[in-house]
């Protein structure tokens, strides 16, 4: 019976196989054990190599025996490395299988939940409901537009008539302003002169007038 069969209970008939998680834990335990043995063999190889170096020229028999033991340890180490590789591969396969199993289980549960959620739903009923929702939304939009549109007073009044009436009022206001400005402006204007305007005398003319007055007095 192989080592793996003994570890996983494959030699007993009727015994239930271990679960994936149990198998993974056992494989990890074997990995730890083999890793410890690997460390031990590596130390033994270093020790035998040290003995062979020390006795290489002094005692060839001791040196040769040390090298033989080193070869045996190296062969065991090679076998253990191969076993570790096989166990690591099997453990990774089990971990991936376990993960895939859990994923499929969750997906199956989700599918069942989705089926239950859609149990009381019909595709045609959903389409009918959406059509009804769209129809009601259209009605609501029409109602909003109707409410926001101006109605009632002022809708039957012609805008051109209003503009014409406004122009008449503006003209009347302008005429009243002109009438009010007329008399007031006339009262503020200066009166028209009746006598001929007299030009102001200059200094020269005044001097000549004074001379004429002096001559008239002397002549008299």
Q: What is the pLDDT of residues 90-113, one digit of tens each?
A: 999 988 988 888 888 899 999 888
219 located within any domain:
no
The total number of structural domains in the chain stands at 1
- Distance between CA atoms of residues 55 and 219, nearest Å: 181
156 located within any domain:
no
Residue linked to tokens 């340890």? 73
104 located within any domain:
yes
The torsion defined by the Cα of 82, 84, 87 and 92, in degrees rounded to 10, comes to: -110
CATH code of the domain covering residue 107? 1.10.287.1060
5 located within any domain:
no
- Distance between CA atoms of residues 220 and 210, nearest Å: 16
- The residues, any chain, with a CB within 8 Å of residue 70's CB and separated by 6 or more, are 44, 45, 48, 49, 52
Q: Which two tokens stand for residue 117?
A: 């959620």
15 located within any domain:
no
The mean per-residue pLDDT over the stretch 19-30 comes to 88
Structural domain of residue 73, as residue ranges? 20-112
- Distance between CA atoms of residues 125 and 128, nearest Å: 5
38 located within any domain:
yes
Asked whether 74 and 43 are in contact (CB, 8 A), the reply is no
Q: What is the pLDDT of residues 163-208, one digit of tens each?
A: 888 888 888 888 888 887 655 555 555 665 665 555 555 677 777 7
149 located within any domain:
no
Q: What percent of the chain has pLDDT over 70?
A: 77
200 located within any domain:
no
């Amino acid at each position: 019976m192989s080592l793996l069969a003994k570890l996983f209970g494959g030699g007993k008939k009727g015994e239930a196989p271990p679960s994936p998680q149990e198998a993974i834990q056992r494989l990890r335990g074997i990995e730890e054990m083999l890793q410890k043995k690997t460390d031990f063999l590596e130390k033994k190889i270093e020790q035998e190599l040290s003995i062979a170096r020390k006795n290489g020229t002094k005692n060839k028999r001791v040196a040769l025996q040390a090298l033989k033991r080193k070869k045996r340890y190296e062969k065991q180490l090679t076998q253990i490395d191969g076993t570790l590789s096989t166990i690591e591969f099997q453990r990774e396969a089990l971990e991936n299988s376990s993960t895939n199993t859990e994923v499929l289980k969750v997906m199956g549960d989700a599918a069942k939940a989705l089926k239950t959620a859609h149990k009381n739903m019909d595709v045609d009923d959903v389409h009918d409901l959406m059509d009804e929702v769209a129809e009601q939304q259209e009605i609501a939009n029409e109602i909003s537009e109707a409410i926001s549109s101006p109605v009632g007073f002022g809708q039957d009044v012609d805008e051109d008539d209003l503009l014409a009436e406004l122009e008449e009022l503006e003209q009347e206001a302008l005429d009243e302003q002109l009438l009010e400005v007329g008399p007031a402006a006339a009262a503020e204007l200066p009166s028209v002169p009746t006598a001929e305007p007299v030009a102001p005398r200059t200094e020269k003319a005044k001097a000549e007038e004074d001379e004429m007055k002096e001559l008239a007095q002397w002549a008299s």
